[in-house]
Amino acid sequence: MLTYQETVWDESPHLGSYTLANFRKIPQIQEMPEEKKFEMEVVGNVLPFKANNYVIEQLIDWGDIPNDPMFVLTFPQKGMLKPHHYAKMASVLESGGDRKEISEAANEIRLKLNPHPAGQMELNVPQLKDGTKLYGMQHKYKETCLFFPSQSQTCHAYCSFCFRWPQFVGMDEMKFAMKEGEQLVQYVQEHPEISDILFTGGDPMIMSARMFGAYVDTLLEAKIPNLRTIRIGTKSLSYWPYKFLTDKDADEMLDIFDRITQSGLQVAIMAHFNHINEMTTPALKDAIQAVRRTGAQIRTQSPLLAHINDDAEMWSRMWHLQVQMGCIPYYMFVVRDTGAQHYFGVPLVRAHNIFRTAYMKTSGLGRTVRGPSMSATPGKVMIEGTPTINGQRVMQLRFLQGRNPDWVQRPFFAKYDEDAIWLDDLKPVFEDSFFFDQEMKEKYSLS
Ligand SMILES: *Cc1c(COP(=O)(O)O)cnc(C)c1O
Ligand code: SF4
């Protein structure tokens, strides 16, 4: 098993940020052939790219390029665009297209990549009782509402597979964002069924402690009786652990977690780790300890990704290490039907096999993890297995979360299909339609 180095990090970290505009200045990139750099430029003009020194110097193994998982996770890869989309952008760049031509070609391609999967824009926008629409929130599952502070619509670095990519390329004018913490308070007060607020983005831990603290204080001062947990969906532990160590407001951020815990609410960090290589630096180990000392709990989640982590052995080692470090494995997701799904997607049957193989090798303390789970329009759907029933091989599925809570925990069956990569690919077996199809059509029809 891999354990973290028992050394104390002493170099003072420096945050150099890289985007498409300056990625050629990265020393390790300079050494690459021009052809590779051009490939990154082609893809990077369509899908977002951002990296920082920590990722480049401490997470990527430059001796293992192009296969290193952290490299694939952060740098644009040729295969992320379908060949005809790649050819289109390549020809615009080769013919010396200006900014306008590049951005037109980019937007045309982006619109073909299903920028708003699972009806996020249309179906989940909540309203106050006075009719005000809250574009900075989503409320899909009864107990938990998502909050997108307008200051957190970016991340420390971008994951190449990210399903929130349209927010980072300026496609979503609203960016789901809203400034007013008061509206959040009002909404949660109007909905006594909500127990959890999930701060998300981008990455809410891109916010300064001052800004995040302002939202938190508004919530705490309102003393909302139904509110029990403040969740924070973040990749900062992985991409910028110094957020909790040496940033000038690191202690102030930890104090905020403390304050929430002291007030009787739980802080649940929904930490995003895609690969065990993100968990091996001394800074990460120290950051986890600093966060846990505040009373916050850390749960971990990641999608299963071809070219990055489609390896059961790695998952079981990662879950072991997470448990050892006091984190709680929570979700393995299936790559969403947006952006570069054709590149990162793993078929559902194979995803289940990888999950099961990794789960089998995990102690009960790590078996808090659930998956593989699809965040689809009707809900979070898990693949439970591929049993043979009356001589017929089928896929057995179950809702972990449902748009209608009554759907949760009801097993249902689909035709066995080794190529299916999303719920939409599955066909009912034993019945003419899935049990939720009719209600989905009646209540949540998008047209
Ligand atoms: C995953 C998710 C949640 C949280 O679900 P849990 O199973 O409680 O972690 C809430 N809202 C949306 C839209 C989600 O996709
Ligand atoms: S940290 Fe999350 S929101 Fe940010 S790029 Fe990665 S997957 Fe997307």
Ligand 1 contact via 235 beta carbon (within 6 Å) = no
Ligand nearest to the CA of 161: 2
Whole-number percent of the chain with pLDDT over 90: 82
- pLDDT, tens only, 109-129: 999 998 877 666 677 889 999
Give the CB-side neighbour count of residue 384, counting CA atoms within 13 A: 16
pLDDT surpasses 70 at 283: yes
pTM of the model: 0.93
Question: What is the pLDDT at residue 179?
Answer: 58
CA 330 to ligand 1: nearest atom: 9
Contact 143, 405 (CB under 8 A): no
- Non-local (6+) Cβ contacts of 21 within 8 A are none
Residue whose CA lies nearest to ligand 1 atom number 8: 144
Q: For ligand 2, what atom is nearest to the CA of residue 168?
A: 5
d(CA 155, CA 195): 26
User: Which token pair is 148?
Assistant: 């997108």
Partners of 146 in beta bridges: 138, 198
pLDDT bracket for residue 176 (50, 70, 90): very low
pLDDT category of residue 2 using cuts at 50, 70 and 90: very low
Give the pocket of ligand 2 (CB within 6 Å).
155, 158-159, 162, 164, 202-203, 235, 272
The rounded Å distance from CA 25 to ligand 1 centre is 39
Which pLDDT score, from 0 to 100, does residue 156 have? 92
